[in-house]
Structure 1
Amino acid sequence: MKFLSFVLSVLFVIQINDAHKLNIELLYESLCPDSVRFVKNQLAPTFDEIADYVNITFVPFGKAFSNQNGDFDCQHGPIECKGNRIQSCVLNQIPDQVKQVQYVHCFMQTYVTNPMEQGEKCATQAGAIWEVVKQCVESKAGMLLQLQAEQTTSHYKPQFIPTIVYDKKFDQNAQDSSIAGFRDYVCKRLQKDKQDVCAPMRLKPIRA
């Protein structure tokens, strides 16, 4: 009985802590140069240090749209559509957000230079099963994940990709600040919520 009470109390604390996290949604595209730069220069170098204080959701869709043929048209062509779909399928397999960030960073760096590889190495390094990923990409499951990404993206009607949304509300000032200095903006938001987590932060070099 005491053990059950302990487990319930731990779960309760976890739920409270999770409720106080800053929710971030990243709307982006697999071949968008601005998306690649943001992930490489802003998100990836910072995330390990803020991971305990945020929940991040990746939405790989951008300015794409579904068509009457049951397929998608993307800003940077069919190869980008394939990349968005691959990412949706991989991200759906790996719930750990630190691994998700590592995967997206890896994929965005490799897919733009070698789309034929399809990011298989990045996916398997993150713990995804590549055969399952392929089945997802080539099936209705991949389409449904992209339709879900389209629904989320359409809700915010982004004018610029990538778009960064905090706590389900788009704010242009937050967007501009995040593009210029993601770490600084997130630190200010966390400090506003009385989470003094930024003072000891030091950026770590990220390999391309």
Structure 2
Amino acid sequence: MGLLRSLATAAASALLLGLHGSDSVASAASTGVAEQHRVSLRVFFRAFCPACQWFVGDPLLELVRTEEYRNIVNLTLIPAAGMKEKEDGSVTCEAGPLECAGHRWQVCVLDNDRDDVVKYLGTIACIEGDESGQVGDWNTKVKNCLTDEERVVVKECFDNRSKDLLVKVRWLASDSVDAEV
């Protein structure tokens, strides 16, 4: 995990330095880049995976908080890594039901705040963080990460639509051979 952390930190630093160090890039970013020239970045992550928690809550969140970065990148978060859809349409997660529940909560946060990347990424980083409560203690995590109004909407989504939303998420299925992906 040390190598992954170093690589992600280096990549994040390079992006930030590139955005702030280049007049032409910074100039283009301050006004926004035409849609066809924006970089599409799809981040697949697993709920409560330590490396994913760090990446979503640290370098990615810091980049997204930078307006120049938001002006040149279309970010799509996909809380579905480690999932498998069965033939009957049900979903299982490698780390079990708590991971699947985390994906369901997170897909509802994304659905609720889909037009505000800073908001939804901040909320997901909060849910992923240890400070918001224990994994599986959804009442505490949701209370600590969402406003009263947001809790009502996200809870309704979790109860009624999250499974359907999660199955519709465009994610990469993986196969395991001898316990290796």
- TM class by shorter-chain length? 0.5 to 0.7
- Which protein, 1 or 2, shows the higher relative CO under an 8 Å CA cutoff with sep ≥ 6? 1
Distance 1:53 1:99 in 2: 18
Residue equivalent to 1:58: 77
Write the mapping of 1:67-78 to structure 2, written as runs, cut at 5 A.
67-68=86-87, 70-78=89-97
- Are 2:113 and 1:96 equivalent residues in the alignment? no
| TM-score relative to the length of structure 2 | 0.66
Q: Secondary structure at the match of 2:108?
A: helix
**1:43 matched to 2:64:** no
Aligned to 1:130: 151
Match of 1:85 among 93, 96, 104: 104
State how far apart, in whole Å, the 2-side matches of 1:107 and 1:70 are.
26
8 Å contact from structure 2 (residues 32, 71) kept in 1: no
Query: Quick check: 1:117 aligned with 2:134?
Result: no
Q: Matched residue pairs, number? A: 141
Root-mean-square deviation (Å):
2.8
- One-letter amino acid matched to 1:136: C
After TM superposition, the score normalised by the length of structure 1 is 0.58
* Structure 2 letter corresponding to 1:86: W
CA drift of 1:106 comes to 1.1
1:17: which partner in 2? 34
Q: CA-to-partner distance for each residue in 1:118-174, whole Å, 9 max, x for gaps?
A: 53135524x9622222222122x211211122x4323xx599xxxxxxxxxxxxxxx
- Pick aligned residue for 2:171 from 141, 152, 155: 152
For structure 1, the residue ranges without an aligned partner over 5 or more in a row are 1-13, 160-208
The answer to whether 1:29 aligns with 2:29 is no
Structure 1 Cα separation of the partners of residues 133 and 73 of structure 2: 28
List alignment gaps of at least 5 residues for structure 2. Answer: 1-30, 177-181
